[in-house]
Structure formats: C-alpha cells, structure tokens
Structure 1
Amino acid sequence: MKFIRLKIFVFMLAIIFGSKLVYANEAVESLFSTKAFLNICVSSRGNPEIINNQAKNMGFIQMPNEYAAQFLKNYDGRAWMINSSEGKFVITQLNNGVCSLFINKGNPTEIQKNLESWLPPKSTGLTYKKEMSKDKNLTTTNYIISKDGKALETWVYTSSSEKNASLVAVISHQMN
C-alpha cells in the first residue's frame, strides 16, 4: 500500500513539475517573440535601416533572397532569421513599411497575452481599438493605436489553432 502511495506521489510531482517546465518554456518563447517584435518592428517605425540594425543586434541573420521569398511572398523587402532555444523566428521588412515577426513555436494564447501587456495604457494619451476576425484555423486581432482619434499605428496578431502547425503566429506592425 505504501509503495502505491509513493508511486502516486511521484507521479503527481512529475505532473506538477512537468507542467511548470512547459509553462516556463512557453513564457520564455512568448517573452522572446514580444521582445523581438517591440525591439525590431515597433521601435523602428518602419525605417528599413533601423530594422536591419535592430535585427542584427538581436542576433538575427539576413536570409538569402531565395529563402526570404517564402516569407515575403510577392512583396519586395528583406528577411532575417534566428534559430534559438526558444524556437525559430523570422523578421520581414517589406518596402511598404510593414515589419512582421513569424513565430514557429510557442503557445499562441500566451504570446498574445504577453503582446497585449505592452499595449499603451490610457495614461500615455494613446488609446487602442481591438478588432478580431476568424477564418478557418486562423484568428486575427488588429490593435489600432490612436491619439486624439487619429490612428498612428497598427499591430496585427494572427495565430493558428491547427495542431502541430509549422507557424504558430505572426505579429505585424505598420505605421498609419
């Protein structure tokens, strides 16, 4: 009987510590993705030179055109990639000023919560409007940031609910 209790106790500890480890890894991934998005896309305000410098400062490496093409689709721009313990991340900078971060690993809900924690508080004089849409396995949330009723910039968060998707989420930034 004591042996069975010990096995149950060890099993419960494994579940508790295992779930904390998974949560800790997801938190690290969402922190890195938010940090990369804010430091590269938001802070650059669409300036290609700043995007390039910030991406390199964070350890991203510019991708050759043939590999960048799959992220740029039919748009002109550049792409950088980093492969870290937190996952693979790609930053794109389109010539139209849109900067995006592609995330291949993590919990989409945690990433979005972390991103939302960085939206401007009312005390800054800025406001934001949240608009959501859903299409099949994709959910898109637009955060339109304004001052005095004038839209300044938009953050777009798109995530996949598909199991084992190769791309978990994309966060984009564009000045209005």
Structure 2
Amino acid sequence: MKFVGLKIFIFMIAIILGSKSIHANQAVESLFSTKAFLNICVSSRGNSEIISKQAKNMGFIQMPNEYAVHFLKDYKGSAWMINSSEGKFVITQLDNGVCSLFINKGNSTEIQKNLESWLPPKSTGLTYKKEISKDKNLITTNYIISKDGKTLETWIYTSSSEKNASLVAIISHQMN
C-alpha cells in the first residue's frame, strides 16, 4: 500500500513539473499564491514534516501559537506566514493532513484562473471534476482529482464576493 502511495506521489510531482513546461508555452506566470500552494500543500501530500520543510524553504516563518490559533480555529496543527511583494500569506497544516493557504491581497478571479492552469491535463490519465457552491458571501470550488474513477485528492478554492474583504481567498489541499 505504501509503495502504491509513493508511486502516486511521484506521478503527481511529475505532472506538476511537466505542467509547468506545458503552461510556459502559454506565457502563464504563476502567482506566489499558486507557487506556495503547489510547493507546500500539494507536493507534501499531507505530510506535516514535508509541509514544515517546504514552508521554511519558501521563506515562511512559523507563527507562535497565540497567533496561529486565529487560522487554526478549533483544530490542532501549525501555521507559518510570510510577507511578499504580492501580500501576506499564511500556510496552515492541520493534524488531519489538510493544508491551506490564506491570501489577503490580490484578484480572486486571477488567482483562481492561475490555480486552474495547474490542474492535470487529460493526457496524464488524471481527471478532475469541478463543483461550485455558494454560502452567503463565500464561493467555494472543489476540484476533485481522480484516476480511473478513484478520488485521489481535492483542491478547494474559497473566495469572498464581499468588496474589500480582509481575506481574498483560501486554497486548501486534502488527500482522499
């Protein structure tokens, strides 16, 4: 079972790295938010040690518990933050394996389009289903990624339709 998981992990990394060259031809420049989400959340596959290492490699600093609790809510986990030229970002890793990126600045439509450009193309053998739901001022899009009808993981994009919201979007990754 672990060997199968490793094969899927390696396959997904190859897809992500291969997708960059596919999309480079379309002159799509990744936003910091997309890079952070892919490099920290997606590549870690829910492994807390990898999330921590990748966050630090990208310049994120672990937040003290009294600040992290604001992002973790009632869940156990860790949080890291960074200020970049594109805004402030917080990565959270919950003990249940869910990794999320909180984005406080930017155009939510542009961020979502950039994220979607990294979804696996059909040529990889992976498929995804897009499910959209709305709740008050929040719009959530689930990208359910599958292979041969078996769900492997879900990317979750949530944004606010509220003008001047303090939080532009949250992108989460969950292994199934």
Aligned to 1:146: 146
Return the alpha-carbon distance in structure 1 between the equivalents of residues 46 and 86 of structure 2.
Answer: 25
Return the alpha-carbon distance in structure 1 between the equivalents of residues 137 and 33 of structure 2.
Answer: 21
Return the alpha-carbon distance in structure 2 between the equivalents of residues 111 and 120 of structure 1.
Answer: 17
What are the within-5 Å matches in structure 2 for residues 24-173 of structure 1?
31-173=31-173
Return the alpha-carbon distance in structure 2 between the equivalents of residues 162 and 132 of structure 1.
Answer: 17
Q: Measure how far apart 1:69 and its partner are.
A: 0.1
Aligned to 1:175: 175
> Does the residue aligned with 2:80 lie in a helix, a strand or coil?
strand
Return the alpha-carbon distance in structure 1 between the equivalents of residues 32 and 151 of structure 2.
Answer: 27
> Does the residue aligned with 1:38 lie in a helix, a strand or coil?
helix
> Does the residue aligned with 2:113 lie in a helix, a strand or coil?
helix
Identity over aligned residues, as a percent? 89
Provide the alpha-carbon RMSD of the alignment: 1.2
Moved over 4 A (4+): none
1:19-76 deviation line (CA, Å, top 9, x unaligned): xxxxxxxx98x61000000000000000000000000000000000000000000000
Aligned length: 149
Whichever residue aligns with residue 95 of structure 2, its letter is N
> Does the residue aligned with 1:110 lie in a helix, a strand or coil?
helix
Q: Measure how far apart 1:163 and its partner are.
A: 1.1
1:117-152 deviation line (CA, Å, top 9, x unaligned): 000001000000000001111100000000000000
> Does the residue aligned with 1:59 lie in a helix, a strand or coil?
coil
Query: Gaps spanning 5+ residues in structure 2: where?
Result: 1-27
TM-score, length-scaled by structure 1:
0.83
The structure with the larger Rg is 1
TM-score, length-scaled by structure 2:
0.83
Query: Gaps spanning 5+ residues in structure 1: where?
Result: 1-26
Return the alpha-carbon distance in structure 1 between the equivalents of residues 40 and 96 of structure 2.
Answer: 16
> Does the residue aligned with 2:31 lie in a helix, a strand or coil?
helix
